[in-house]
Amino acid sequence: MQSYLRIGGAYDSLTHPVPDDAETIQWPVRIIDKETYHRATLSVEDLSITIYIQDSLTPRQAIDALVKSYKACAVNQPGGRR
pTM of the model: 0.66
Confidence band of 26 (pLDDT split at 50, 70, 90): confident
Pairwise CA distance, residues 73 & 15, whole Å: 18
Mean pLDDT across the chain, nearest whole number? 80
Alpha helices in 1-82 (DSSP H): 59-76
DSSP summary character for residue 21? T
Mean pLDDT of 38-54: 88
Residue 73 has pLDDT above 70, yes or no: yes
